Structure formats: structure tokens, C-alpha cells
Structure 1
């Protein structure tokens, strides 16, 4: 039955990723992939919060499977991040490509730590 929880989370996360990406990118034109950056930062923050809560043993396994493995895994997108970074470099926007790689990794880790820290404050 665990796989059903993962699928249920993915059914929500995948379309939300696409819709959020398109909505953000439509508002922020230009070369930088703001949509992918946004969904990845949200997923990192939520997953960090989930990890912070799970480390205190207050999160049941079904929530971890639904929210972490299903929802966050499909909300975030490493493959699109990689593709967009490569495309930026190939089209001559090397500064944007480097900025996307560095800022995404640093902000993603920061979001995960911040999400975990915020949840720990309330536990």
C-alpha cells in the first residue's frame, strides 16, 4: 500500500510543478529559469521541514511517503534544472548558467535547512 501513497503525492506534485513553473515563468520573462528555480526551492523547503519533523519522530511513515517521496520528488525537478542550465550555456548565456547552478544549489540547501529549522522551532 505504500506505493499508493507515493502515487497520490505524485499526482498532486507533478501537475503543480508544471502549473507553477509556467505561471512564474510567464510573469518573469527572460533567460533565467525562474519557474524551475521556484518549484525546486519550494520542494527543498518542504522536504527540509518534513525531515526536521521526522527527526523528532512526530511524522508517521505514510506522511513521509506521501509528502516526501511522492509530492516533493515530483514537485522538484533536477532533470529540468540540468537541462535549462545546459541550454543557457549552449545559447551563450554562460553567466546565467553559472548563476543558475550556484544559486540553485546554495538556495536549495538553505531552503532545506531553513525548513527543518522552522519545524524544529514548533516541535
Structure 2
């Protein structure tokens, strides 16, 4: 039953990502993939909150599996960050590609830490 929940939550996360990404890109004239970075950071924050709820507040582990692995896994996307970075490299925008990769990693880790810290309170 948990596997079905993960699959459904993952599907929902992917749809939400697509809708949010499309809406953000429609409002931005930037050639940089900021919507992807923002989505990954928000997903990392949510995963930190969910993990903290399980670790510090006895929330059911199945919630973390379904919402964390499923929804957050479908919502965030390392593969899109990779494709966006390769596109920047092909366009010879090496600094922007490095900034996107390193910025996504750093802000994603920080957001997950913030979520975990908030949940610990």
C-alpha cells in the first residue's frame, strides 16, 4: 500500500512541478533556469520539515516515505538541473552553469537544514 502511495504522491509532485515551473518561466525573461533552482530548494525545505516531523514529533514514518520520497521526489528534479546546466555549457556560459550546479546544491542543503531545524522546535 505504501508503494501505491509513493507512486501517486510522486505523480502529483511531478505535475505540481510542471505547473509551477511553467508558470514561473512564463513570468521570467531570464535565460537562467531559476525556476528549477527554486523548485529544488522548496522541495528540499519540505523534505527537511517532513524528516524533522518524523524524527522529533513521532510522525509516522510512512508519511516521510510517501510525502518525502513520493511527492518531494517527483517535485524536485536533479535531472532537470543537469540538463539545464548542460544547455548552459553548450551555450558557453560556463560560469552560469557552475553557479546553477553549486547554487542548487548549496541552497538545497541549506533549505533542508532549515526545514529540519524548524521541525525540531
**Class of the TM-score when normalised by the shorter of the 2 chains:** over 0.9
Q: Map 1:1-123; keep pairs closer than 5 Å.
A: 1-56=1-56, 58-121=58-121
Distance 1:103 1:28 in 2: 19
Quote the offset at 1:8 in angstroms: 2.0
Structure 1 residue ranges, 4+ long, deviating more than 2 angstroms after superposition: none
Distance 1:6 1:34 in 2: 27
Quote the offset at 1:30 in angstroms: 1.8
Quote the offset at 1:57 in angstroms: 5.1
Q: Any gaps of 5 or more consecutive residues in structure 1?
A: none
Q: TM-score, normalised by structure 1?
A: 0.92
CA contact (8 A) 1:21 1:38 kept: no
Quote the offset at 1:42 in angstroms: 1.0
Quote the offset at 1:9 in angstroms: 0.8
Distance 1:102 1:64 in 2: 27
Q: CA RMSD in A?
A: 1.1
Distance 1:39 1:28 in 2: 15
Q: Any gaps of 5 or more consecutive residues in structure 2?
A: none
3-state SS of paired residue (1:56): helix
Question: Alignment length, in residue pairs?
Answer: 121
- Greater shift, 15-24 or 47-56, is seen at 47-56
Q: TM-score, normalised by structure 2?
A: 0.94
